[in-house]
């Protein structure tokens, strides 16, 4: 729980983001402007999900393994020929990890910290899918995140008040049930950099959930 103030980003697992970006660039390169099948459609998406904390250790930080969260996404869905669906988008995400006990001593100090973790993210990214009615999709986002601690008895909020770079990458299944409506499951990996502490304290989690998209 004790953190050094020295800035340290550590190693960032960026392979998935690079792969998703490469796929998107390849799609644009292989299918130029004359290959577009039609104009873009505004995509408003809502995600509900359950984050499963991977790091830092839930046990050592007095946290539950799982929590709850949501995302709101805005994008422009572009349909290319050959069933390719490209959606640049921006959005906001909130993930909440519950505390597992009323209080915990901060290792190496005389301080006590307690409370739930609140993780907020603003992001921009890209979704790449293939199909018409059932569309397997990969996606990646990058942006800025900030974190805080909440709950009664919180005596040291600055321990959790870190902010920095964030990215996520995931897979989804889009099921189009109507012209203006689609839904499906998704799973993703999320990383938030701890800009003011050791790299091993950077939050990382998996998120599993479902989403619904309205197309206009």
Q: What pLDDT, in 10s, does the model give residues 53-63?
A: 998 888 877 78
The SS3 assignment for 133 reads coil
**Which residues partner with 133 through β-bridges?**
none
Average pLDDT score over residue span 121-132? 97
pTM reported for the whole predicted model = 0.76
Average pLDDT score over residue span 151-161? 51
Task: Please list, in sequence order, all residues whose beta carbon lies within 8 angstroms of the beta carbon of residue 200, skipping any fewer than 6 positions away.
Answer: 10, 55, 56
Grade residue 153 by pLDDT with cuts at 50, 70 and 90: low
Average pLDDT score over residue span 151-163? 55
Q: How far apart are CA 23 and CA 46, in angstroms?
A: 24
Per-residue confidence (pLDDT) for residue 50, from 0 to 100: 97
- Provide DSSP, 176-203: EEETTEEEEEEEEEEEE--TTS-GGGS-
Q: How far apart are CA 17 and CA 180, in angstroms?
A: 29
Residue 158 has pLDDT above 50, yes or no: no
Per-residue confidence (pLDDT) for residue 199, from 0 to 100: 54
Residue 23 has pLDDT above 70, yes or no: no
């Amino acid at each position: 729980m004790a953190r050094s103030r020295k800035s340290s980003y550590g190693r960032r697992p960026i392979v998935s983001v690079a792969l998703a970006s490469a796929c998107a660039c390849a799609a644009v390169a292989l299918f130029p402007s004359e290959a577009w099948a039609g104009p873009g459609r505004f995509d408003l998406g809502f995600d509900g999900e359950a984050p499963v904390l991977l790091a830092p250790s839930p046990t050592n930080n007095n946290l539950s393994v799982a929590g709850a969260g949501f995302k709101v996404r805005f994008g422009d869905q572009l349909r290319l020929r050959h069933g390719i669906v490209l959606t640049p988008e921006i959005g906001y995400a909130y993930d909440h990890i519950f505390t597992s006990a009323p209080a915990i001593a901060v290792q190496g100090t005389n301080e006590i910290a307690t409370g739930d973790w609140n993780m907020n993210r603003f992001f921009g990214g890209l979704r790449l899918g293939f199909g018409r009615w059932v569309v397997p999709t990969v996606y990646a986002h990058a942006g800025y995140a900030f974190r805080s601690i909440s709950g009664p008895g919180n005596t040291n909020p600055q321990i959790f008040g870190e902010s920095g770079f964030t990215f996520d990458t995931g897979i989804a299944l889009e099921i189009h049930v109507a012209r203006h409506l689609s839904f499906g499951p998704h799973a993703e990996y999320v990383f938030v950099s701890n800009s003011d502490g050791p790299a091993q304290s950077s939050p990382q989690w998996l998120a599993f959930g479902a989403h619904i998209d309205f197309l206009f």
